Amino acid sequence: MNSLERKDARLAWTLLAPSLLIVALIAFYPLGMVFYNSFTDKGFATNTKVSYVGLANYKRLLGLEIVPLPRGDERTRSLAAQERLSRGFRLVGVARLFGSSFAIGGTDPDFISAVSDTLAFTVVSVLLETILGMIVALVLVSNFPGRGAVRMSMLIPWAVPTAVSSKMWAWMFSSTRAGVVNVVCQALGITDGQFSFLTTASTQLWAMIAIDVWKTTPFMALLLMAGLQMIPRELYEASRVDGCGAFRQFWKITLPLLKSSLAVALVFRTLDALRVFDLFQIIFAQQRYSMASFAYYQLIDNRKMGYSSAASVVIFLVISIFIVIYGRLSGGSDERN
């Protein structure tokens, strides 16, 4: 490295130093404090003495036990589930695999359920939003009368505040005929018109997914539509001359050239879904948690800053895993291209 390059490097570091300092103060310092507090029993807004507890918070959060259950009827397995768990473990649920039943217990079953619900919510909602967003984007990039009005109306669900849309859908899922969903389901012969979607455990998560898909599909469509408009129209014209149909055009032209935009859309939506808070908070409060709402209630209601910090670190690690996965997949795709 010659003297000119060294001067350029020093100048670059001089210019970057203030920015790096600001990033360290507003990002790394708070993150570091969260990691530090996760190893303590620190309380929130209390004067109690803080003690170092090591990995105790994480052991309680992530303590998991899976034990086989004897064969029998459903009632017998349910009664035996809690009895077969070790001391300190509480029943999270009963799983079935290849005809066998297993009791799943956790030292904090609420957090285990929150992690499971958040991951299921993320996978299913992002998958549905991507598929529906792709369909909407493909329709809206084509030329048809009134396309501008349709594009604007498509963004209405995304523009509605989550607090408003959540309350609106809570009313629509009402367990009486005042709920639109029950009216439709009764007309189709699915329910008797008085089914409680938001209090029945088997339908709660699906209701949350439906609300999120309705609200966020326009966002996915918007991102994908931007990518579709970057694809040269000449490629489609040439493929039609060669006799390619619509499906073959999508598979051979649209999808490969849309990979970058699709990857960006998936990253944004996945990270947002993993951090879901307001939807669970408004609909369920303390009846059912997401990972973020669990951390919130541990901090605000139970005043356990150390325990809440440990839950927040777990959320951070789960999000980091998804980021690494997406990075690997997109990196491998770029190298092959």
Dump the DSSP string for 18-78.
Answer: HHHHHHIIIIIHHHHHHHHHTTB-PBSS--PPP-B-TTHHHHHHH-EEEEE--SS-HHHHH
Co-location of 141 and 234 in the same domain = yes
Q: Per-residue pLDDT tens for 185-232? A: 888 888 888 888 998 988 999 999 999 999 999 999 999 998 888 888
Task: Tell me, yes or no, whether 134 lies in a domain.
Answer: yes
Q: Which residue has the higher pLDDT, 75 or 256?
A: 256
Lowest mean pLDDT among 87-91, 128-132, 298-302: 87-91
175, 182 Cβ separation under 8 angstroms: yes
Q: What is the pLDDT of residue 307?
A: 96
In a domain, 291, yes or no: no
pLDDT in tens, 161-171: 988 999 999 99
CA distance 115 to 104: 14
Token readout for 65 is 């036990």
Residue 104 three-state SS: strand
HSE of 208 in the Cβ direction (CA atoms, 13 Å)? 31
Of 28-37, 57-66, 98-107, 184-193, give the range with the top mean pLDDT.
57-66
Residue 311 is predicted with a pLDDT of 96
Pair (116, 263) in one structural domain: yes
Contact status, residue 255 vs residue 221, Cβ threshold 8 Å: no
Using 50, 70 and 90 to split pLDDT, how confident is the model at 80? low
Which pLDDT does position 237 carry in this prediction? 80
**Using a CB cutoff of 8 Å and minimum separation of 24, what contacts does 210-215 make?**
210/169, 211/165, 211/166, 211/169, 211/279, 211/283, 212/121, 212/125, 212/129, 212/273, 212/276, 212/279, 213/125, 213/128, 213/129, 213/132, 214/157, 214/165, 214/169, 215/157, 215/158, 215/160, 215/162, 215/165
CATH assignment of the domain containing 162: 1.10.3720.10
* CA–CA distance, 145 with 135 (Å, rounded to integer): 18
**Structural domain contains residue 245:** yes
146 shares a domain with 77: no
What mean pLDDT, rounded, does the chain reach?
Answer: 86
Same domain, 224 and 116: yes
Strand order from edge to edge, sheet including 64-68: 64-68, 100-106, 90-97
Q: Are residues 218 and 231 located together in one domain of the fold?
A: yes
Residues 128 and 181 in one domain: yes
**Alpha carbons 45 and 311: distance in angstroms, whole number:** 18
Q: Which tokens hold the place of 111?
A: 């957090």
Among candidate residues 273, 295, 317, the one where a domain is terminated: 273
Residue 204 lies in a domain: yes
Residue 283 half-sphere exposure, CB side, CA atoms within 13 Å?
30
Instruction: Report pLDDT for 3.
Output: 65
Q: Hunting for tokens 């619900």 — which residue is that?
A: 117
Whether 324 is in a domain gets the answer no
Provide the residue range defining the domain that includes 100. Answer: 64-106
More confident residue, 236 or 160: 160
pTM for the full model? Answer: 0.86
Residue that wins the pLDDT comparison between 81 and 102:
102
- Residue 30 placed within a domain: no
pLDDT digits (tens, 9 = 90+) for 43-59: 998 888 899 999 999 99
State the average pLDDT over residues 91-116: 88
Q: What percent of the chain has pLDDT over 70?
A: 90
Number of folded domains that form the chain: 2
Question: How much is the CA Rg of the chain, to the nearest whole Å?
Answer: 25
pLDDT of 337 strictly over 60: no
Kindly list the distances between the CA atom of residue 292 and the CA atoms of 74, 172, 265, in Å, as whole numbers in the listed order.
Answer: 33, 25, 22
In a domain, 304, yes or no: no
Nearest C-alpha neighbor of 134 from the set 217, 256, 251 = 217
Q: Are 42 and 310 in contact (CB under 8 A)?
A: no
Domain boundary among 273, 292, 324: 273
- pLDDT, tens digit (0-9, with 9 covering 90-100), for 122-142: 999 999 999 999 999 988 888
The arithmetic mean of pLDDT across residues 149-161, rounded, is 87
Task: Quote the pLDDT of residue 173.
Answer: 92
* Residue 25 located in a structural domain: no
* Among 243, 273, 303, residue at a domain's last position: 273
Same domain, 84 and 171: no
Residues 117 and 222 in one domain: yes
Q: Is residue 333 pLDDT above 60, yes or no?
A: no
